[in-house]
Structures are given as structure tokens and as C-alpha cells.
Chain A
Amino acid sequence: MAKDLRTFLAQLSRDYPNELVTVDNEVDPGRFEATAILTELYERHKYPAVLFTRVKNLKGEVSSAQLALGLFSSHAKAEATLDMKGVSRLELIEEYVRREQAGCRPEVIAKKGAPVKQVIYRDREVDLSLFPIVRHCEMDGNPYIDTAVVSYDPRYGYNAAFQRMMYLDENHTAIHMSPRHTWTYFQAREQQGEPLPIAVVIGHHPAFYFGSLTMAPMDADEYEIIGGMLAEPLRVVASETYGEELLVPADAEIILEGEIVPNVRTVEGPFMEWTGYYGPQRLRWVVEIKAITHRRDPIYSCSFGHQTSECNYLNLATEAGLLADLRRVAPTTKAVACMGRGYRFNVVISMKKRMEGEPVSAALAALAATDYAKNVIVVDDDIDPWNLADVMWAVGMRVQPERDVTIIKGKKGSTLDPSSTHELATSAMIIDATVPLGQPFQRVVNIPDWVEQRVKLEDYISADWLNKADYPGTLV
């Protein structure tokens, strides 16, 4: 059986029962109710995937679709996505890199064997308001479809990328594209006065979306990368509208087929972004939906990106992409972490420095590899880059700002950065928090090894006290 959203939910139910919860009460996602429930769960430090079995569509009727949210919101679910268990975040990242490089060619199947073709709407039958499209946060311009969009360019192959799409009416959405791959595909078409066919992939195995977030170059076929991430061929099928010119994932729950229309714009936004801010309303592109295909009783799904818990694991792809890139520049790079809320703007590189200048070269490579990277801290390999206290200890104890801080002006930045005063350009900061080589440096405090080996805590303090579940476990 091919991997899909249903096999993943079954896997969670079987192997990680605390990672999936079902809500049978009627919920209206178009009126913030689904995201309000997720937010309340996260505030209680609970991060399950949530399957809403009875949800309203945009007409206010109970939909034939269910709604699955929070599919990326914990380490355990990231493990399940990559078929691993009991591994560290760095091991997940290393596995992501391995699968991305391995790849796997897609398998084209006939329509009759494609679950996503069980129900087909074309042309005037198309009605997006039949689905439980989620209105995430208060100032969102409308309900948003926030998932992977697939497009094809014969020069480069298939691209898959998360693009936010704002509901406009039954067969139109707005779409936001940052100036990367999908945008490049569309620019080439628009210059010829042609639309860009796209497929919106709603409800697939999370590995599909991990692959969609790849930082691979433009000419890498992302269906092959997604196959690598699934560890099996991605099954694809001819689209209803564009035939074999646009192959779409056969095991998705729902596919919206349509095209980005040339020479037309609309006002789009605001939208809750993973930055934690609402991106402003602006002029963006228009998508005309030509056909909708879906499974019987489909499961609608999307990302809830502004939540740190969710974006943290969606971000695994960025950390993996940076790790692979940086090891070409600095082979002793141990790990790359994107830190805190607004994660991709703050990058921490842990490395075994071999020569002065190597940390700055690694940081420059990170800044070049992704538009989002803005503040890069480089630490020695004794620092856990995901441990903010350790990282800030290194910054506090190993950095002389005059010597170790470098400011870069005018690099390509992100349209989502609220601090920027230019549409695309940004400044950037590199902090080299590694210990200088070739000169004496103070030693980190420690207890002698011979004493640590001899002292067993249980010999001195009762097991009852040591096992107290309510001990806070942190100092501050």
C-alpha cells in the first residue's frame, strides 16, 4: 500500500497513540474554531495531530470532508514521518539529507487506480466553498489554503512548494509567491502571456510535505526528492485539465487543478505567517481553479504555520539543506539549527573549527543558501546548537563584538521580514562565537573524572526524591 495521509494517521494511532486525538463535536474552521482548539492545546504544551470528524464548509454546512491539523507538531511525528524511532533531531536531519540525495523516481499510474480520482468536478461544477477551508487567525484576509503547490517547467522539472492561497470565490484564490522557484516558473509563462498550470496538493503523507520544503536547486526534480523522502516512488497520475503535461499525486486526499492567470492581480492578505506576524495586504497573483478531484469522504488538511511547534518541524528541511550545503564549505560542520520563534531568520552553526576564518565562511554560505537567514551564530562543537542557553553562553563568553561580529549589507532577504524597510534586501549579522585558535583560552569548569565515576547519586539521595515527577527541572 502506498504511503498517504491515511497510512500516516493509522501509524500514529497504532505506534504513537498520544500523538493523535479525534474531535467529534461540530467545529467551524472558517470561523477560527479549529485553530482556537489547536492554540489552546499548544498553550497547555500538548501537541497532537487533531482529526476533526465533523466540520463545516464555507457555506456553513457540515462538510463531507474531515479536517486534519497539527501533523508536523512534535518530534515524535517527525520520527514517524521518516520511519524512525528514539532518534535525536540531528539524526532526523541526517536522514533527511540521505533521503533527499538518494531520491526516487515517481511512478505514473492509470486514473482508475488513483484514489484521488474517486470524485471529479470540472469547470462550472468547481466549488471551493464545499471544503472546510481554515480561517487561521483574526486578521487573516479570508480563509486560507496553506499547503504544497506543484508546478512544472520543462527546463527544470517538477517543483513543489508551500504557497499560501486566499479564498476569493468558488473557483478563484489569490496566491502569494516569494521570488523563488514557482515565481520563476510563472514569470517565464507570464512573459509569453500564458498561465502557469498548478496542482494544489491537500492531504498527503507528511513526508510529501517534508520533500516540498527542500532547498534543492531549481533543476532538481522535486517529485524525485519527495519519492526519496517517502522511501518509495511517489505515485502520480495525469491531471484532468492538463493531462500528462501536469502529473499530480495519485494518493492525495484532494487535488485542486488550476492556473496562475497572467496579467491579473488581486488584493491578498493579511495572513498569519510563521514569523508570528501578519504579513500585510498587498497585490498578489490570481489562481483560477479548473477542476477538483478527491477521494470519497476526503480528509482536508493544511499547515498552521505561525505556531512554533509546527514550524519547528517543518523547518527540519531548512536545517537539512543548510547542513548539506555547509559541509561542502566547512566539512567539520556538526549541526545547523534554526533557533526560536521566527526560526529560519536565526541560524546556529556548530562546527569543529580548523582554521580562523572558517566560521565566517560557513556563515556566509548559510546566508547565501537561504533568503531567510539573517542572524548567524557560529559555535564550537562542544555547544548544542538547539540549546539556547548553551548558545548564549558561548556568545557571552567567547565573543568580543568588535572582533567577532560582522555586518553584511544588501543581501537578498525575505518578503516576510517585518523589520526590513526594503521589499527584498536585508542586512545580516554574523557572530563568530568560537574560541580563537592559536592562543591560550580559559578552561571550562568541571569535576574531576575520577570523582564523577565514583559518585553515584542514588548512594546519597533517595530514589523517591530523585524521581519526583513535579520537580520543575529547570533553573529559571
Chain B
Amino acid sequence: MTLIFYVDCPECEKDFYCDIELYHMDVELHCPYCGLYFKKEASARVGRPLKESHDLVTTTGRSQESFKIYKPAHPLRLKKD
């Protein structure tokens, strides 16, 4: 585990949390409730942790510049009853 930040989905407005490394990366987050991919800048509320204690080299082993980001062309969207 590491530090996390909360974020609201711009579409369904429900909140979830991510590893703080994603806060510092240029990646789209994925809403677990509705399946939307979005940049954190699109969110109405992004909560930051009070302190940050580690750099961007984590158990993924690499910094963002050294790998590509995969995003499904047709993300699974969860529809409610």
C-alpha cells in the first residue's frame, strides 16, 4: 500500500481512490462504478494526501516515460437496473 488520493467520477459522480503515483502521471483514471476513463482534471473533486513520501519508481518498476499505457478500445460499462 502507499498514499492514495480520492477522486470523483465526472459522469456518475461517485468517488474512488488511486495510488498517489497516478496523481503525478499523465494517465486517464478508470471509474470502477460506470467504467468511464477520464483525466483527473475533468473531476470536480480531487483529494490530495497531506504528505507525499515516495517518488514515481514503484513496484511497476519504471517511470512513466519508459512504457506505453494500454486502454481498451471498448471499455466495459456497468449498467444498473
Count of A interface residues, CB-CB < 8 Å: 47
A115 proximal to B (CB < 8 A): no
B1 proximal to A (CB < 8 A): yes
Which residue from chain A places its CB closest to the CB of B28 in the assembled complex? A267
A136 to chain B, nearest CB (A): 11
Q: Could you say which residues of chain A place their CB within 8 Å of the CB of B30?
A: 141-142, 267, 281
A286 and B70 within 8 A (CB): yes
Q: Could you say which residues of chain A place their CB within 8 Å of the CB of B27?
A: 267, 283
Interface residues of A in 251-291 (CB under 8 A from B): 261, 263-267, 269-270, 278-286
Which residue from chain B places its CB closest to the CB of A58 in the assembled complex? B76
Which residue from chain A places its CB closest to the CB of B14 in the assembled complex? A139
Interface residues of B in 4-33 (CB under 8 A from A): 4, 16-19, 21-22, 25, 27-30, 32-33
A280 and B68 within 8 A (CB): no
Assembly CA distance A421 to B21 (angstroms): 13
B16 and A265 within 8 A (CB): no
A143 and B76 within 8 A (CB): yes
Q: Could you say which residues of chain B place their CB within 8 Å of the CB of A279?
A: 1
Count of B interface residues, CB-CB < 8 Å: 37
A281 and B22 within 8 A (CB): yes
Assembly CA distance A142 to B16 (angstroms): 13
A270 and B17 within 8 A (CB): yes
B28 to chain A, nearest CB (A): 7
A265 and B69 within 8 A (CB): yes
Which residue from chain A places its CB closest to the CB of B5 in the assembled complex? A280
A415 and B67 within 8 A (CB): no
Decide: A265 near B60, CB < 8 A? Known: A172-B72, A280-B4, A281-B32: yes
Among candidates B28, B59, B73, B76, residue contacting A423 with C-beta atoms closer than 8 Å: B59
A423 and B67 within 8 A (CB): no
Q: Mark B39-66, 1 if CB is under 8 A from A, else 0.
A: 0000000000000011000111110001
Decide: A281 near B16, CB < 8 A? Known: A264-B67, A422-B54, A424-B59: yes
> Which B residues are closer than 8 A to A by beta carbons?
1-4, 16-19, 21-22, 25, 27-30, 32-33, 35, 53-54, 58-62, 66-76, 78
**Beyond A169-B75, A281-B32, A421-B3, 10 additional pairs, beta carbon < 8 A:** A168-B70, A168-B72, A177-B59, A265-B60, A267-B27, A278-B17, A280-B19, A414-B1, A419-B1, A423-B59
